[in-house]
Amino acid sequence: MSLKHAILVLLETEAGSGYDLLKGFKQRLGFFWNASHQQIYQQLKKMHEEQLIELTMEKQNGKPDRKVYHLTNSGREELATWIADPVKPNKVNDALLVKLYAGHMTEPDVLLKELQRHKEIHQKMLATFLDLEAQLNALPKDKQTPYRLPYLTLRRGIIGEEGWLQWAEEVEEELSKMKKAAG
């Protein structure tokens, strides 16, 4: 139920359209919150009805009008209240682990290939995160200060991906042993 609050966070920094928010999710919250454009437009409609956000129309030629949303006082309050309220830790539902658990039903190679696919994705994400970290660290110290909190979320991404890849090595080793034993 926090898509609402993630949107409020993005709009708190800067007013924007549904399309801006879509990009905002990708660029700013991408490693810990994701939303599709369909979700965003529907949510904005609801939040407008709840008067958490206001909109101004911007006319454009050739393109549809931009609906630029900004926080109301009520929206700002909602966000501040939510931050102070406890949230439940995430429910973990990981299909890859279900497959591994039931791996006796298939060949080690099937599992290894699936693992490989996931590993590539995780490697790319780690590379992106490390790149961002390097960019931040290259800034002069005083310019880094405003990014202290976002930087911590980036650290979560880095530590998480490193852990995942470390685990993947253990899995690969074990599956290779099983393959040899079977072959």
Partner DNA sequence: TATGCCATGTAAGGGGTTACATGATTGA
Partner DNA sequence: TCAATCATGTAACCCCTTACATGGCATA
How far, in Å, CA of 100 to CA of 115, rounded?
A: 9
Query: Which of 9, 12, 31, 35 forms a contact with DNA (CB under 7 A)?
Result: 35
Buried b vs exposed e over 127-140: b needs ≥16 C-beta within 10 Å?
ebbeebeeeeeeee
Which phi-psi region, left, alpha or beta, contains residue 62 (left: φ > 0; alpha: ψ -120 to 50)?
left
Which of 63, 91, 141, 180 is close enough to bind a second copy by CB under 8 A? 91
Looking at 117, 135, 140, 183, which residue binds a second copy (CB under 8 A)? Answer: 117
Residue 98 interacting partner from DNA, a second copy, none (CB closer than 5 to 8 Å by kind):
a second copy
User: Is residue 139 at the binding interface for a second copy, with CB under 8 A as the rule?
Assistant: no
90 forms part of the interface with DNA (CB under 7 A): no
Note the maximum CA span of the chain: 68
How crowded is residue 179: how many other Cβ atoms within 10 Å of its Cβ? 14
3-state SS, residue 32: coil
Phi, then psi, of 90 in degrees rounded to 5:
-60, 140
Q: Segment contacting a second copy (CB under 8 A): 52-60, 66-74, 95-103, 133-141?
A: 95-103
Q: How far is the CB of 126 from DNA (least distance, A)?
A: 22
Q: Which residues bind a second copy (CB under 8 A)?
A: 2, 5-6, 9, 12, 28-29, 31-34, 79-80, 82-84, 86-87, 89-106, 110-111, 114, 117-118, 121-122, 148-150, 152-153, 155-156, 159-160, 162-164, 166-167, 170-171, 174, 178
